[in-house]
Structure 1
Amino acid sequence: MNYVRSVLPLDFQSVPPDERPKTRAELIKEELADAIARGAIAPGVALDEVGLARRFGVSRTPIREAIRQLEAIGFAEARPRRGAVVAHFTQDRLNEMFAVMAELEALCSHWSALSMPAAEKAALRSLHEDCGAMAQSGQLDGYMELNFAFHEAIYRGSQNSYLAELTLGVRQRLAPFRRAQFLGFDRLKLSVIEHGRVVEAIERGDGPGAAEEMRRHLRIVRESVDEVKR
């Protein structure tokens, strides 16, 4: 089985002690999900536990957990007594998922523009500037981490915990595709520009404007995913 070569570190020595390190299963799940999103592992390919354990140099226990996590986000499908296979994402399915994501994030942006406290708006601006610095220096991993924090700040800023929880759940299902977009041409810097328009609308209290800028951003993300997979 020709799985994508492991590129993620499977030791946690460099992780700051005040941050919870990801488990081996989580790291393996992320790498497999990213490979599926890029098309490096094709739909229908069997996720063979023995082969994956050998590939990652681990026992079958974290492999089973990683596959279970892939099933939970819809990236793998369990087959009775035959193991799991990579799920097939049609263009229509991805369009539907991104359409829902765009509307949820647009609603969060709209309500954040109307309800986010001044201190949170200042923190959002700071996150945006930090994202810009990461993009300028080409630090992909750092940017992706801050990018997640940026969007999550907007979810919380809506002042509606149920909406924030729902939006975060959908985002987690699409996270591998959203990471894959950054393999496209100059997406880091362009993403910062798109974020900036959302921030400006939120800062001036323009709910409809913030919603439309977020929708535009997610449409571009969706298009970028297709470009990466070509």
Structure 2
Amino acid sequence: MSSVSTTPKRTADIVRRTLESEIVSGALGPGERLDETVLARRFEVSRTPVREALMQLTSGGLIEMRPRQGAIVATVTAKQLFEMFEVMSELEAQCAKFAARRMTTTEHEALRNAIEACQAAADKGSADAYYDANRSFHEAIYAGSHNSFLEQQTTALRNRLSGYRRIQLHRGARILSSLNEHKQVLAHILAGDGDSASSAMRGHVMIQGDGFIDLLSSLNLGDSAQSRVGT
């Protein structure tokens, strides 16, 4: 990979995104060591942005920092992944329910703007741009819940699942279906219908049936891990 002339923060983000994609896709397997010096040489950057990228991946749970070993790709089973998405769907559903009751007019406008950004990214067919716009949409709802503890906990788990949520957007027509689901959530929030907003958000986030199987098929979790999910 050639060096990139940009800010240290942007460079760290490029390194993080690349490693995140490789971990989620299975190109970097569980237990594999990520050496700062080797990575700095690979990306043709100093160790500072590499260290920052590894810290971000650690906070997101994709890698672990172990004594005398350094950064190691974390092990995530299919069962653990399913359970995390299950909890995520409930947290986001609660955010949407509160947001429908508590969002201000100004916050409604910000949510509309986030939807417009999602639409623009979808029109371009850019999964990365859509992911960023999608994140803004969800974070606007977290903030609109007006419950700082719920917002913090939801954001923390979302960060943990960010790599897995990103990879979904590269599968089939997921961007368009996601956008339509966003519009349903938006309509319920603007109408002040907390129960419907909650239900729509839960369905939007939760991976079920074919969707979950599709995600598993794109990950290197192993047959034994998949068999522990159940039916």
TM-score in terms of structure 2 length: 0.84
Residue 215 of structure 2 is matched in structure 1 by 225
- 1:40 is aligned, of 27, 42, 49, to 27
Which residue identity is paired with 1:84? A
Task: Tell me the matched-pair count.
Answer: 217
In structure 2, distance between residues paired with 1:82 and 1:162:
34
Judge conservation of contact 1:184–1:228 (CA < 8 Å) in 2: no
- 1:147 is aligned, of 134, 137, 159, to 134
Judge conservation of contact 1:178–1:225 (CA < 8 Å) in 2: no
Structure 2: gaps (5+ residues): 221-231
Higher deviation after alignment, 29-38 or 65-74: 65-74
Judge conservation of contact 1:106–1:210 (CA < 8 Å) in 2: yes
After TM superposition, list the pairs within 5 Å mapping 1:63-142 onto structure 2. 63-142=50-129
**1:11–1:181 distance in 2 versus 1, CA, 3 Å:** farther
Shift of 1:49: 2.5
Structure 1: gaps (5+ residues): 1-5, 14-20
Shift of 1:10: 3.3
In structure 1, distance between residues paired with 2:70 and 2:204:
38
Residue 16 of structure 1 is matched in structure 2 by none
Shift of 1:23: 4.2
Residue 12 of structure 1 is matched in structure 2 by 6
Which residue identity is paired with 1:12? T
In structure 1, distance between residues paired with 2:108 and 2:126:
25
Shift of 1:70: 2.1
Q: Partner of 1:229: helix, strand, or coil?
A: coil
Residue 190 of structure 2 is matched in structure 1 by 203
In structure 2, distance between residues paired with 1:135 and 1:164:
26
Structure of greater relative contact order (alpha carbons < 8 Å, 6+ residues apart): 2
In structure 1, distance between residues paired with 2:50 and 2:117:
35
TM-score in terms of structure 1 length: 0.84
In structure 2, distance between residues paired with 1:69 and 1:49:
14
Judge conservation of contact 2:85–2:207 (CA < 8 Å) in 1: no
Higher deviation after alignment, 162-171 or 116-125: 116-125
Shift of 1:68: 3.0
Among all aligned residue pairs of Structure 1 and Structure 2, give the percentage whose two residues are the same amino acid.
43
